[in-house]
Structure 1
């Protein structure tokens, strides 16, 4: 290997040579000449999508499967290394192409044309997508019909189109706009009937208003149908959710009582075969979790609680046999202080940001915890976004 060889892909997606130079759209094994010319190596594949690299939906389509999986693992290892932490990192789970069940597209009416797609990389310009290698085909099939629908609804501005696959079919929330008049209502009904839409809601700034929902929209989590508020957070792919859930259950074993912190709709709550205390700050999400658990008669005890302003205390945490947490990208620094001092035997930490995870892990490890293993999950295929699940325990006294 020479100094001009790309040896790894950095967190933002650019390749780094052995001598420290950076090259965009490169892959491990490529060579970077002094004049910036890039020669492709064995791990550089032809990007499958015609919109790459203009479209910001993907950043790493030039990587083959092996190098992309290595990138996912390296993102976590590098974050841990920055905090002086080493541990076992399992083989990553990578979601296949065309499996994303939720996405936000941008729409813009300009010059008599309706544009619908992802934003360009580092730009507000919209790529009018003609194909997509990450979206579930059932969602991508709606892109062209949605362009037609938005024109019929007299959409004349810029807004977002949130797409989600619910149990009943596609769920759509359009923001920044609300249709008016009988022709718009008729066009909307025809669209929904033709494409078997589960729900359509609009939010022009006053909150979502549902205009089509023949049957109550749900998402099944842990075998339990849970009411699905418009544009709710879900794990990006079904297989990614399954990989994270399997890791969480593996980590906690068979406890009698569990605290699920940042519980959301109940992704992990519903899968845990124990008494579960579920803390969540979002009222809509918590209401859905509660309704699903009650209907299924699950022993779930939900609480509306902002864990940034009011984290569980050490005394509260000590009541549980295991703790599961899945915080937002900012991590769980406020909660980590009490977790570090608690006597709970095991913690399963799910994260969508290796950097904040490593920061919180450092606090736990400094207090005597150890990371038994980390399971990387790459749900956002060909992006720099990486998720993980980790098991923390306290070493037995010698």
Structure 2
């Protein structure tokens, strides 16, 4: 044991992907499955990556992983770290990005974390292996690992997996395998399937029987656009009190409480007065935030995806949401329009807001509320806003991707001098 301790190396931090970082005489290396404070031994080292042999002395935040598939299933990268410490690390990632932006003052963030068994959307792969269907997530750079347990999924989704395996096994159109996206809507699970064969009437019959038996009102085939294979009941979801019919594979925040935390932070960031000028919402999707914002003011909601826009437009009648279809990467909302808004709310994709940021900077709306799922893009997009004089008023961090490196945040920025409206 003394020799092992003497030869051990110490993990000093987590990298952006959730792998532990250890400092060796040869330089920094990344070691999956480790947490800060661990004293470890390696099996081998290949350049900047090492393979863990064993933990000699565990770090204070190391815990036993709650799932026996941890280390094989590719769904959770950091299950061996206590959840409070994981939230602190994710908060630190966001704060580090904001510090790199160069704000004069960074407010103390509010931080929230969802509970286990709360995930309501998942993308899975399935493969025929012998006489069985293996259904789950890919191991890291490897094959599909059968999801025989899961600490992430809502029980309604997890309980669906066993009959789903049997149904997929019976489908003639499934030759070797495919992929399946599942959204847990208010109307029940919504399935979008990719398979390596062409479904015929017999496949559709099997799918319809499955849908009726297991409360799955719609099953669709991944195509351009998606094709409905079986429709056995109404498909709907609610954003606030507005009922929408999301398209197959629609974007949902992964957890209900996570969505609620984001919405609360966005609404709290709106100006107290002057909202008659209206709100411009960019990347509105199916209306995740639109209808809540419309309870405060008129909302000009822009969305580029055709199916999401159609859903938003259909549901917006009788509300103060004014939807417009627009590819914001190719045709951003212009500065002259943004300048007239009381607030601009944007929830861009993982890559960030791209060309839209330059127009926000030029338009100088008094309040910008940025919802981010990527600290790197957040830093890139907020840097020109800070250079234009915006200050950072509040930060909310939301961990709704438990045991992963993913983190959401909501940043509220205002322009001193131009922002003459009282804050909420």
TM-score range, shorter chain: over 0.9
1:54 to 65, 68, 72: 72
Residues 221-244 of structure 1, C-alpha deviations (whole Å, 9 max, x = no match) = 122111110011111111111100
1:112 to 121, 124, 131: 131
Q: Establish whether residue 381 from structure 1 lines up as the match of residue 402 from structure 2.
A: yes
CA contact (8 A) 2:101 2:386 kept: no
Name 2:194's counterpart in structure 1: 175
CA contact (8 A) 2:204 2:230 kept: no
Name 1:283's counterpart in structure 2: 306
Residues 233-259 of structure 1, C-alpha deviations (whole Å, 9 max, x = no match) = 111111111100101001113423100
* Shift, 1:312, TM fit: 1.4
Distance 1:108 1:161, change over 3 A: same
Number of aligned positions between the proteins: 391
Name 1:271's counterpart in structure 2: 292
CA contact (8 A) 1:326 1:351 kept: yes
Give the CA RMSD over aligned residues: 2.1
* Shift, 1:34, TM fit: 8.5
1:189 to 193, 208, 223: 208
Residues 352-373 of structure 1, C-alpha deviations (whole Å, 9 max, x = no match) = 1110111111110011111112
Give distance in 1, aligned partners of 2:119 and 2:198.
Answer: 27
2:387 to 363, 366, 372: 366
SS in 2 for 1:118: strand
Q: Establish whether residue 41 from structure 1 lines up as the match of residue 49 from structure 2.
A: no
CA contact (8 A) 1:371 1:393 kept: yes
Name 1:253's counterpart in structure 2: 271
Which runs of no fewer than 5 residues in structure 1 stay unpaired?
A: none
CA contact (8 A) 2:125 2:144 kept: yes
Name 1:76's counterpart in structure 2: 94
Q: Establish whether residue 235 from structure 1 lines up as the match of residue 235 from structure 2.
A: no
Distance 1:40 1:67, change over 3 A: same
Give distance in 2, aligned partners of 1:112 and 1:302.
Answer: 49
Residues 142-167 of structure 1, C-alpha deviations (whole Å, 9 max, x = no match) = 11111110111122122111111111
Residues 286-318 of structure 1, C-alpha deviations (whole Å, 9 max, x = no match) = 111111111xx1011111111111111111101
More strand by share: 2
Distance 1:372 1:4, change over 3 A: farther
* Shift, 1:14, TM fit: 1.6
SS in 1 for 2:88: helix
Give distance in 2, aligned partners of 1:40 and 1:348.
Answer: 40
Name 2:411's counterpart in structure 1: 390
Give distance in 2, aligned partners of 1:22 and 1:110.
Answer: 33
Q: Establish whether residue 302 from structure 1 lines up as the match of residue 323 from structure 2.
A: yes
Name 1:353's counterpart in structure 2: 374
Give distance in 2, aligned partners of 1:197 and 1:33.
Answer: 48
Give distance in 1, aligned partners of 2:368 and 2:375.
Answer: 17
Name 2:355's counterpart in structure 1: 334
* Shift, 1:18, TM fit: 7.2
* Shift, 1:178, TM fit: 4.2
Normalised TM-score (structure 2): 0.87
Q: Establish whether residue 147 from structure 1 lines up as the match of residue 165 from structure 2.
A: yes
Give distance in 2, aligned partners of 1:281 and 1:261.
Answer: 9
Normalised TM-score (structure 1): 0.92
Name 1:312's counterpart in structure 2: 333
1:25 to 33, 40, 47: 33
Give distance in 2, aligned partners of 1:229 and 1:178.
Answer: 21
CA contact (8 A) 1:178 1:202 kept: no
1:343 to 364, 373, 377: 364
CA contact (8 A) 1:73 1:89 kept: no
Which runs of no fewer than 5 residues in structure 2 stay unpaired?
A: 1-7, 44-51, 419-424
CA contact (8 A) 2:258 2:400 kept: yes
SS in 1 for 2:243: strand
CA contact (8 A) 1:217 1:227 kept: yes
* Shift, 1:41, TM fit: 2.3
Give distance in 2, aligned partners of 1:170 and 1:206.
Answer: 21
* Shift, 1:89, TM fit: 4.3
SS in 2 for 1:142: helix
Give distance in 2, aligned partners of 1:283 and 1:323.
Answer: 22
Residues 80-99 of structure 1: matches in 2 within 5 Å? 80-85=98-103, 87-99=106-118
Name 1:10's counterpart in structure 2: 15
